[in-house]
Amino acid sequence: MHFIKQNLQEETALKRYNTLLCQRHYWPFINKITSPIIKLTFCLCLILLGCFTQHVFANPIQNQAADDIFNQFNNDELTGTLFTDEKLLELKALIAPNDLPRLQALETFTCKQVRAHETDKLHALIKSTDSISNGHYYAKSTPILLNLCRSKALRYLGKHEQAKAINLAMLASATELNDENVLASAHNSIGQQALFENQFFNAIESISKSYELHQKIGHTNSANLNIIELASAYRRLGDNDKALYYYGIAEQRLIENQSHILLAIVQHSLAYIKLDNGEYQTALAYFQDVLNVANKSNNQLYQTRIKVDMAAPLIKLSRLEDADRILTDAQTIIDEEMFSHYGYMHAYLFELRFLQSHNEQALRHFIEAERSFKKYNNKKGLSLIYQLISEYFAQQQDYKTANHWHHQFLTIHLELDKATQETYNSEMRIRFDSKQLEDQQDQLLQFQALKEQQLEALKTKQRLQYIALMLTAVFFIILVTFLIKLIRKSIQYKDLSLTDPLTELPNRLFAYQVLNKLLAQKNQFSILLLDVDHFKSVNDQYGHDAGDRALQLIAKQCLSILNKDYTLSRIGGEEFLIIMPSTDKTQAIRFAANINQKVKLIDTTSLAMNKPFTASIGISSVTSSTTISAQLKQADIALYKAKNNGRDNTVHFQDCSSHEREEQQ
């Protein structure tokens, strides 16, 4: 038989097979023989024939196609649920009804494919394995593997004590059988049970043993799954650093093997870690990548579970409508038997309704989430909802109840922290190779080899340190250079934001900053609001380029007579603002008249203009606390009067009549 190891186990199995063949095919014929001597002789011949044929071939029914697929299973070459299911269906079609050895082998692989939500199949699996102890099997590994499947079904149905008892018994049987593949399966089953019950210490220890055995026999895919399970255990325990370490190993291997489905599992777990770390947008992106893979499977339940996970970062990102839609749809698909997501679905609904101020609905979802988490001893889930319910009652100003739930939250956290601490000791035991104690000489040789490796590692470390120092120095120089450029750019951008690009004068924003400073100092100052007369006709008659050049000439002319303490700024169009600190009304009027004359003296021949520029100027002086807008309004009223007086003149606000002030106001 190609799919069962050629060892002493087969001899016993084959004797049973030959006995069954004799009973099934030859017994009716033997019963027809009347002579006892002939009947006895015929039976002896059959027995001798059976003893002979067991050394010629293991299974008299030849089926090379089925054996090739069994070899793929036994060599751990198949990955992905869909692909595995297809191969099992192919095997079922290839194996004849009377091919009992292959049918039994097929059953050991088929039972592993039953999912947690397939309640009917789980009950059927338990029923079909009720009489394992009374059955006849062609390989000693078969009843062990079937019992491990039975344990898984009991675990999914919540019968944990029965499941654990079977696991321990099968571990003993696998140890006695000395089959490393079966032993790895037994350790993994124990680890999965512990993981299911949130006993992370035991889970890590058992899954690590399973990983070591899978590595030893070359079952890479199973070993990769063990690494993912180890990472998951650390993640659920709250030790994200170790989880990321194991996920990193798994991710690298899966990328090399192009195992896209298993890679999606890793990305799914990485999304959980990003969620725990508060990186909600990154977590959402990971969940979306996994959902894209799930959408190709046409598995609605799997897709819904991913969507439930997506609800958590959506809520944190305040995308409440998206989360509401996902969770509302999920309630029609996720039921209580979906233990992995039922509790979290209600936990997220509790948080969502709480944020939406639907308090009664929120409390109902809290009760459901707590019941589910307590049933499956999910302390991390309880920690999540206890913190939320504490915030809920605090918002309701029921501080006594809020304090109670906060105490529950802290208690759970202490338990999780204690479990995290215990894993460090667990890892040390896991990594310790007990075989070193069997031979002291081997231990000394290994110790010497280790010392040599450490010495080489130390030299390598020193070289890396020198390289790291050099790279750090280079990086520091680059960083300083970058910072200097950044500071220069920042100053440049700041200057640009305060400068009018056409005239290169300060702009309105800069002028306002100067006015704010003067107002804060409560000193006397004056402002001049200058407007070029008939400037629109310049643009219309000579073009905007000439208008731009004219503004530049006016700005240059004004700057030529400006006191160093004064500020000239362009605040829009053809309007300029001059700020004069420590200046009274008389000084301001005198300076405005001077500006007016200078504007008329501008040479306009370069602009092909035959008329000089003129300007109207409104003046306002500040002697007491006021506001920028009030000051500018006064200057604007004075400017308006200057325009009404025929332009080309200056007017102080104090010279405006009350009627003119009210009209402009």
- Whether 51 has a pLDDT exceeding 90, the answer reads no
* Bridge partners (DSSP) listed for residue 650: 617
> How far, in Å, CA of 375 to CA of 368, rounded?
11
Please report the pLDDT score of residue 590 as a whole number: 93
Among the listed residues 428, 647, 443, the one whose alpha carbon sits nearest the alpha carbon of residue 537: 647
- The whole-number pLDDT of residue 183 equals 92
Query: What are 531's strand-pairing partners?
Result: 575, 616
Q: Which residue has the higher pLDDT, 29 or 601?
A: 601
Tell me how many helices (H) and strands (E) the chain has: 28, 5
Q: Which residue has the higher pLDDT, 436 or 169?
A: 169
Q: Could you tell me the pLDDT band of residue 658, with boundaries at 50, 70 and 90?
A: low
Q: What is the CB neighbour count within 10 angstroms for residue 275?
A: 20
CATH fold match for the domains 310-426 and 508-664:
no
Whole-prediction pTM? 0.46
Distance CA 341, CA 353 (A): 18
pLDDT band with cut points at 50, 70 and 90 for residue 10: very low
pLDDT value at position 527? 94
Q: Kindly give, in sequence order, each residue whose CB lies less than 8 Å from that of residue 582, ignoring residues fewer than 6 positions away.
A: 523, 524, 525, 565
Task: Count Cβ neighbours within 10 Å for each residue of 285-324 and write b for 16 or more, e otherwise.
Answer: ebbebbbebbeeeeeeebbbbbbbbbbbbbbbeebeebbb
Please state the domain extents for the chain: 8-53, 310-426, 440-497, 508-664
- Residue-wise burial string across 540-559, b where 16 or more C-beta atoms lie within 10 A, e elsewhere: eebeeebbebbbebbbebbe
Taking residue 74's Cβ as centre, other Cβ atoms within 10 Å add up to: 18
198 vs 41: which has the higher pLDDT: 198
| Closest listed residue to residue 621, CA positions, set 635, 607, 642, 604 | 635
Helix (H) or strand (E) holding 526: strand 525-532
Question: Which residue intervals of 238-276 are DSSP H helices?
Answer: 240-257, 260-276
Could you report the per-residue pLDDT of 403-438, keeping only the tens digit for each?
Answer: 999 898 888 878 777 766 665 555 444 444 434 434
Q: If you ran DSSP here, which 8-state letter would residue 575 be given? A: E
Sheet holding 650-652, edge to edge: 567-572, 575-581, 525-532, 615-622, 650-652
What confidence tier does 461 reach under pLDDT thresholds 50, 70, 90? confident
Q: Which pLDDT value is given to residue 366?
A: 92
- Cα separation, 164 vs 155, in Å, equals 8
What's the pLDDT tens digit per position in 327-379? 999 998 888 877 678 889 999 999 999 899 898 898 999 999 899 888 888 88
Average pLDDT over residues 231-241: 80
Q: What are phi and psi of 199, to 5 degrees?
A: -95, 75
Q: Give the model's pLDDT for residue 18.
A: 47
- The total number of residues written for the chain in this structure: 665
What DSSP state is assigned to residue 26?
I
Of 1 and 150, the structure prediction assigns the larger pLDDT to 150
Q: What is the pLDDT of residues 531-583, one digit of tens each?
A: 999 888 888 888 888 889 999 999 999 999 888 889 999 988 889 999 999 89
In 3D space, the residue among 111, 147, 131, 104 whose CA is nearest the CA of residue 4 turns out to be 104
Q: Quick one: average pLDDT of 634-639?
A: 92
Instruction: Residue 185: name the closest of 262, 72, 109, 265 by CA.
Output: 109
What are the Cα distances from residue 137, in Å, to 9, 10, 189, 506?
10, 10, 22, 96
d(CA 10, CA 598): 117
Torsion of CA 543, 544, 547, 549, to 10 degrees: -110
Is 57 a residue whose pLDDT tops 70? no
Nearest to 631, CA basis, from 507, 515, 532: 515
pLDDT above 70 for 46: no
- pLDDT tens digits along 196-223: 887 887 888 899 899 889 888 888 888 8
Closest listed residue to residue 599, CA positions, set 589, 587, 583, 611: 611
* CA distances (Å), origin 604, targets 542, 562, 598: 12, 21, 13
Residues 6+ apart with CB under 8 A from 600: 612, 613, 614, 648
Q: How far apart are CA 534 and CA 546, in angstroms?
A: 14
Q: What is the chain's mean pLDDT, rounded?
A: 81
100-104, 186-190, 584-588, 609-613, range with the lowest pLDDT: 609-613
Q: How far is Cα 231 from Cα 269, in angstroms, rounded to an integer? A: 8
The residue behind tokens 């105490």 is: 407
Q: Indicate whether 54 pLDDT > 50.
A: no
pLDDT of 499 reads 87
Hey, what CATH topology would domain 508-664 get? Alpha-Beta Plaits (3.30.70)
* pLDDT score recorded for residue 80: 63
CATH topology of domain 310-426: 1.25.40
DSSP code string of 177-220: HT-HHHHHHHHHHHHHHHHHTT-HHHHHHHHHHHHHHHHHTT-H
Q: How confident is the model at residue 528 (pLDDT cuts 50, 70, 90)?
A: very high
pLDDT for position 48: 47
Q: Are 626 and 518 in contact (CB under 8 A)?
A: no
| Tokens read off for 269 | 């777990």
Q: For 246-302, how does the pLDDT look when each residue is reduced to its tens digit (9 = 90+)? A: 888 877 777 776 677 777 878 888 888 888 888 999 989 988 988 888 888 777 888
